[in-house]
Amino acid sequence: MADNQSTIALNIGTQRVSLAVFEPSKSGAVVLKSFDAESVLADPAAEAARVSQISRAIAALVSRSGVKGKVRYAISGQSVFIRFVKLPPLDDDNIEQLVTFEAQQHVPFPLNEVVWDYEILEAAGEKEVVIVAIKSDALDEVNGAVNATGLGTAEVDVAPMALYNAFRAAYPDMNEPVLLIDVGAKTSDLLYIEGNRFFTRSANVGGVAVTAAIAKEFNVSFAEAEAHKTQTGMVALGGGHTGQLDEATAALAMCIRNAMTRLATEIPRTTNYYRSQHSGNAPKHVFLAGGGANLPYAKEFFEEKLRLPVQYFNPLPAISVGKGVDVERVSKEAHLMGELIGLGLRGAGKSKLNVDLVPAKVGEARAAEKRKPFLIAGAAILILGAAAGSFFKSQAAKTAADQAKEAQAQLDQLNSLSRPISSQVKKRDELKAIASTYLQADDSRIFWIDALSELSEAFSSDAVWITDFDPVANYNPFDEKAPGKSVVKADFVSTAFGTPCLENLMTKVPVEGRPRRGEPTEREVPAKINAIRIKGFWLNKAGASANTVFGLLDRLGENIKGGNSHFTFTVKGANGENVTLEKTKLAPRVEADPAEGEFAAPFELVIPLAQPIPYR
């Protein structure tokens, strides 16, 4: 059972839920008093039951540990939207307003539909902010699973931030650039750390992808594939490493290596992005964390692929281990405890980053607690005022008259000052509009690179390849006659040099305000790109079919559910309601078989963008 000075930490992963209790010592150290963990099978086919499975896992941990009270918990990086934004040099008084403006530009949902927070990062004379957001309904679902076990909510952290706090405390003298790879179940978080500098990005490759590859390769169930991976699996190394293994073990090791290679390939791409877009340096040390790093030879595999020294992350130097804790287990699972230790440090006020995605209900309860003393005081004053009201009634009338005169004089003075203030507010709004244009241009500069990277990752398959990537404007999936038009001219290949290759597409919007009689009620403005048309072929080979295309479309859908995607399967209907598109709309053409004499069959997909973008 935890007292008021204890910190109950809970790390909610896709395939593992762990709980720990920390207490401060007299010397100021953070002491681990208890630790436990529970596994969850992250079968993609049982995604709908994941929240209930997590709730049962938390309940089991609470029952065994006997903890009570409020918990600080961390949610996985795949569940949140994280964006790093550089800020112009401004006074601290203006930062709150500027960050809110940046959040409106970068978060792909209206701010009233998300819970978001930010933290300012300062390094090398630059001021940068990390913005973190999660859909309110998704957070409420997870928070409900936590509260259903009897625990209250103290704070909600994000796994990459908690890991960063643990690393900074455990390795205070590490000043060279570091890459911390947290190999999770569905995604792997890549953390770049340089002193006070911090950057993170999630790669959609993890333990589930390895298990799915085993299940497909050996035609077994997901649960059986998971058992093979954890009991006899290992990562094959280059140079004939599997030559000494039996045939079945060697085949399993090669299958795991092929799946892990996808993650190894993603790391240099992310490093290049970090260096080019955030002026970072290439890492000189690599640390491994997470359950996916448990596979034998995982360390040697990453050393081979990255050509850098690799070691397992050990956050234990940041804390002390109390009596009664299984030291052998803690030492063995240290690389899995980074998030818990980061939460424990935060409870003791020793964390560098302090992001709090507090659910709406918890925020309201906090506000009510803060207001309680004022409400009590107000009630007391009201009672006293009522008792003394008759005595002061005559004096109040005279005082009110004097105050009215004074207020009128102040109002006249303020009115004389309001005109120049209004002028400055108008100038500020004009500057904000200009800044918004530049920010949109900067986002558009890397939008297509990121969008194409996401599609390439979702549609990576040796049986499918993409031949055409076509932006579409005015896309309306419910208008069969005019569902949208390509932005690129059909004859752009033969267009003369210097001649525009884009169509001059326009769309009609209502005229602002109330037009005069006889004036048009609509005006034309340049259209926006709101969908992508993808064409390609699926290869007619063993195990491949038209369903392979739909499977890759489902993979993209999983990324969209994570809340960090350039695309969406949900559009506005005729009455403004949200409509989730059927696969027949998303994939208007997928040939079931190749034409006679051909070895591949064509397909066509039309995928809406999460946020329409201008192209002119």
Is the pLDDT assigned to residue 171 strictly greater than 90?
yes
- pLDDT band for position 377 (cuts 50, 70, 90): low
Going by C-beta distance under 8 Å and a sequence separation of 6 or more, which residues neighbour residue 229? 207, 210, 211, 214, 252, 256, 295
427 within a domain of the structure (yes/no) = no
Model pLDDT, residue 510? 82
414 within a domain of the structure (yes/no) = no
Are the beta carbons of 470 and 533 closer than 8 angstroms?
A: yes
CA–CA dist 291, 206 (Å, integer) = 9
Q: How far is CA 12 from CA 17, 19, 40, 158, in A?
A: 5, 9, 10, 10
- pLDDT band for position 414 (cuts 50, 70, 90): confident
391-402 pLDDT, tens per residue? 566 677 777 778
From the list 589, 571, 592, 588, the residue with the least C-alpha distance to 580 is: 571
Note whether 347 and 496 are same-domain residues.
no
Split into its structural domains, the chain has a count of 2
Is the pLDDT assigned to residue 389 strictly greater than 70?
no
381 within a domain of the structure (yes/no) = no
Going by C-beta distance under 8 Å and a sequence separation of 6 or more, which residues neighbour residue 58? 10, 12, 17, 19, 38, 145, 146, 149, 151
415 within a domain of the structure (yes/no) = no
Reported pTM: 0.61
- pLDDT band for position 375 (cuts 50, 70, 90): low
CATH number of the domain where residue 67 is located: 3.30.420.40
Burial of 148: CB neighbours in 10 Å, binned 0-12, 13-18, 19+: middle
Model pLDDT, residue 117? 92
Q: Which of 334, 358, 382 is the last residue of a domain?
A: 358
Residues 26-37: what's their mean pLDDT?
A: 92
Q: Which of 311, 327, 358 is the last residue of a domain?
A: 358
Model pLDDT, residue 195? 82
124 within a domain of the structure (yes/no) = yes
Going by C-beta distance under 8 Å and a sequence separation of 6 or more, which residues neighbour residue 25? 31, 320
Residues 227-247: what's their mean pLDDT?
A: 84
Is the pLDDT assigned to residue 565 strictly greater than 90?
no
Segments of 354-434 assigned E as strands? none
Q: What is the four-CA torsion angle of 446, 448, 452, 458, rounded to 10 degrees?
A: 80
Note whether 463 and 346 are same-domain residues.
no
Token match 């935890």: residue? 2
Q: Which of 327, 358, 389 is the last residue of a domain?
A: 358
Note whether 334 and 466 are same-domain residues.
no
Residues 151-180: what's their mean pLDDT?
A: 94
Of 26-30, 333-337, 343-347, 400-404, least confident by mean pLDDT is 400-404
Instruction: State phi, psi for 580 to the nearest 5 degrees.
Output: -85, 120
433 within a domain of the structure (yes/no) = no
Model pLDDT, residue 27? 87
- Domain extent for 218: 7-358
Note whether 194 and 332 are same-domain residues.
yes
CA–CA dist 608, 611 (Å, integer) = 9
- Lay out the sheet containing 81-87: strands in order across: 81-87, 126-135, 114-123
Model pLDDT, residue 90? 66
Note whether 595 and 464 are same-domain residues.
yes
Ramachandran bin of 290, using left for φ above 0, alpha for ψ from -120 to 50, beta for the remaining angles: left
CA–CA dist 507, 443 (Å, integer) = 23
- pLDDT band for position 255 (cuts 50, 70, 90): very high
Note whether 220 and 353 are same-domain residues.
yes
Of 269-273, 377-381, 467-471, least confident by mean pLDDT is 377-381
Instruction: State phi, psi for 86 to the nearest 5 degrees.
Output: -80, 135
- pLDDT > 90 in the chain, percent: 41
Note whether 333 and 480 are same-domain residues.
no
Polymer length of the chain: 616
Note whether 88 and 227 are same-domain residues.
yes
- pLDDT band for position 134 (cuts 50, 70, 90): very high
Residues 404-428: what's their mean pLDDT?
A: 81
Residues 289-305: what's their mean pLDDT?
A: 93
Question: Over the range 64-90, which residues count as b (16 or more CB within 10 Å of their CB) and which as e?
Answer: ebebebebbbbbbbbbbbbbbbebeee
DSSP state of 484: -
CA–CA dist 414, 423 (Å, integer) = 15
179-235 pLDDT, tens per residue? 999 999 889 999 999 988 899 999 989 999 999 999 999 999 999 999 999 999 999
Note whether 340 and 469 are same-domain residues.
no
Is the pLDDT assigned to residue 479 strictly greater than 80?
yes
Which range in 119-133, 210-224, 240-254 is most confidently predicted, on average pLDDT? 210-224
Note whether 37 and 172 are same-domain residues.
yes
65-89 pLDDT, tens per residue? 999 999 999 988 888 999 998 887 7
CA–CA dist 52, 55 (Å, integer) = 5
Which range in 49-58, 291-300, 364-373 is most confidently predicted, on average pLDDT? 291-300
Is the pLDDT assigned to residue 3 strictly greater than 60?
no
Note whether 172 and 295 are same-domain residues.
yes
411 within a domain of the structure (yes/no) = no
Is the pLDDT assigned to residue 177 strictly greater than 80?
yes
CA–CA dist 163, 177 (Å, integer) = 16
197 within a domain of the structure (yes/no) = yes
